[in-house]
A and B are shown apart, each in its own frame.
Chain A
Amino acid sequence: MRQLTEAPDHIAHHEHPRKGFFTDTSICIGCKACEVACKEWNRNPHDSAFELLESSYDNTGSLGADTWRHVAFVEQSGQQIEQARESGRALVSLGMPGIGPPASRPSSAAPGIVPSDTASSDTTPPDTPEFRWLMSSDVCKHCTNAGCLDVCPTGALFRTEFGTVVVQDDVCNGCGTCVAGCPFGVIERRSDGIVAPKTERDFTPGEQAATRNVGVAQKCTLCYDRMVDDQTPACAQACPTTSIKYGDREEMVATARQRVAELQTQGMSEARLYGANDFDGVGGTGSVFLLLDEPEVYGLPPDPRVPTADLPQMFKRAGIAAAGMLAATAVAFVAGGRR
């Protein structure tokens, strides 16, 4: 399958290493500077009538055609924190690849006894056991096996020399197949319905720049235009806490492994990586995340799988079905052809 798809190790020129993000949600403060920087740099339209979603401090909602960085905000109770720690410990005990934390981590000393984790250690970070806030800046994953890229019929989506996935705005005809093909719900077709001038909010009456790329698929480009000039993507540049890190993908994964091990030795057994495994359903992601709970808590799929992985089997089944249709027609003429 990798011979057919445009995986990053499958491109002709290799003068650039694969680039990626490492988003460390443990130090995200939810300031949304990344969202703003992204919108400004990419000149993305605002995506709602400034409505409040009334569920949390996150009023952006989700990634989409006009939102290429989205800061999730979750408030959790003490019980949910315990559940997150439990599921994190379960991950460690599975013996996952990459075996991050060193053998001397304290959490292995007392499995099952929950409170001793944070109580027994001096290096425990300040903790609020009653509740916590989870903040995480989500972005396009720039998958190794990208579903959107595989199903694009026009070739508008392509793999760049940096191993990222980018839409060519002038080629895309807005068929929308990539929207369905993305297992993370990132890419979306931009519509023009919600970008009318906000006269009551706009301080400069008069001309408003026309919205670009209406009707075509839009998503994070990892600031391709900045990368070609050796610039850091706008979101990573703007992040005040270095929660968003940008660099060579291998370096990012190494940093992520180091950081998750560090957190686990501090007793934060809920820390885990998302997308750092090259054997997962999308072959590893270009944007790696450090999460403090199960992925679905942040709105990420727990076990994404690129649909293309099953495509040969689907074509086989469709071939059998088509043969069946031919056979049925033949039978129909043999049975019904006599006059």
Chain B
Amino acid sequence: MTVTEFDSYRPPEPPRKRRRGGKGRRRGAGGADGSREMPMVPEPEFTSYYGRPVVKAPPWENPIAVYFVLGGVAGGSSLLALGAQLADLPELRRNSRISAVAAAGVGAIALVTDLGRPERFLNMLRTIKLTSPMSLGSWILAAFSTGAGVAAVSEVDRMTDCRAPLGPLRKVLRAAEHPAGVVAAVFAAPLAAYTAVLLSDTAVPTWNAAREDLPFVFVSSAALASGGLGIITTSVSQARPARALAVLGAAGDLVATQVMERRMDPVAAEPLHEGGPGQTLRWSRRLVAVGGLGALLGGGNRIVAAASGAALLAGSALTRFGVLHAGLNSAADPRYTIEPQKRRLAARRRAGITHDSITTAG
């Protein structure tokens, strides 16, 4: 199409090459010489303010994901420790108790480093607030760590042949260790599950859209990670429950992830499949599947068991990193906020519900 008379001086345009299904080529990127077709009209049904985000991503970085992983490991390990305590498996009990308190300790440090004012971390225990998953989680973590700490101190004392000069306190410690293990186990599952609520109880589109099923993904991930750690640390003869937990967790994780992604809003689920987080989550699924199979079939061999356990731990970690970063990405692109909201608003209007819109004619 000629617009001005000066166009007649142009050399003839080369025939356009049709590129269909060119993988990896993003549309919207016009050629630097202007020869490629550029979309002149933005995608329909989606307007935003210069593509700037509507909601803000929280200032949560990798330490938060590390905390999610370790919180899950700690919770699962203390459940294993309680089971071993009841089933009389001393090696599994010892290793699980120590794993639990170590994971909770390092996780708490990771949590504190991600605060804007780490020196004020104790303010987390300033109130108990039922509407704040972060507040409840802090109390869960505090209660869990107390129980797990007492149980682990007793184990360490036994490992060091009672060399620490505890005197009469040793009797108290021995009497308290089993009740303390029960206390830790009571708060273990909430510790593994609340982090999912912490993510979902936000305006971040992907996390919020996953609210129905994210807890199931997180507890499965916690179970497989703690089981995996159990089969790494504990000899084959005593690690059978840990193996079983790892296999159950891996199966649960693969199923729960599928169910979650299917039940989510399709647009809000996109960040789980795209880019770095998508890659991370794909690798997490592979590692969980391989580790789960390894634990199921080769768990009788210490080397295979340890390798499977490592794969499971890595898979669990990648799950949390992937979910964290998918959510952060979803907050950065206004499309994930605006499109699902517009769709649900239109659906309500079609259903005749018109009283609850924030935009009104008068």
Contacts and interface: CB of A to CB of B under 8 A. Distances in A.
Given A4-B131, A180-B207, A313-B212, 9 more contacts: A97-B360, A151-B202, A152-B135, A177-B58, A180-B202, A294-B359, A326-B79, A328-B248, A332-B227
A273 B133 CA distance: 33
Contacts of B213: 317
19 contacts: A61-B52, A91-B357, A92-B361, A152-B135, A153-B124, A176-B58, A179-B56, A180-B57, A180-B331, A215-B117, A277-B358, A280-B356, A299-B52, A303-B341, A329-B80, A331-B248, A336-B241, A339-B237, A339-B240
A322 B219 contact: yes
Interface stretch (A115-123, A230-238, A257-265): A257-265
A311 interface: yes
A291 interface: yes
B304 interface: no
A330 B249 CA distance: 13
6 shortest interchain CB distances as A-B pairs: A100-B362, A174-B116, A299-B49, A215-B116, A336-B240, A322-B189
B193 interface: yes
Given A273-B359, A273-B362, A308-B131, A329 B52 contact: no
B308 interface: no
A282 interface: yes
Contact of A151 (B201, B237, B342): B201
Interface string A91-123: 110111111110000000000000000000000
A72 B49 CA distance: 8
Interface string A7-44: 00000000000000000000000000000000000000
Interface of A: 4-5, 53, 55-56, 61-62, 64, 72, 74, 88, 91-92, 94-101, 147, 150-156, 171-177, 179-191, 214-217, 257, 260-261, 264, 272-277, 279-282, 285, 291, 294-304, 307-308, 310-311, 313-315, 317-326, 328-333, 335-339
A300 B344 CA distance: 16
B337 A153 contact: no
A182 B19 CA distance: 42
Contact of A153 (B54, B129, B200, B355): B129
Interface residues of B, number: 96
Interface string B46-57: 011110111111
B115 A173 contact: yes
A296 B47 contact: yes
Interface in B191-207: 192-194, 196-198, 200-204, 207
**Highest count of chain B CB atoms <10 Å: which of A190, A303, A321:** A321
Given A156-B123, A299-B52, A181 B362 contact: no
B212 to A, nearest CB: 6
Contact of A185 (B56, B198, B243): B56
A332 B189 CA distance: 15
B117 A174 contact: yes
A98 B244 contact: no
A88 B361 contact: yes
Contacts of B194: 318
A260 B204 contact: no
A101 B192 contact: no
Contacts of B271: none
Contact of A171 (B123, B188, B192, B219): B123
Contacts of A274: 358-360
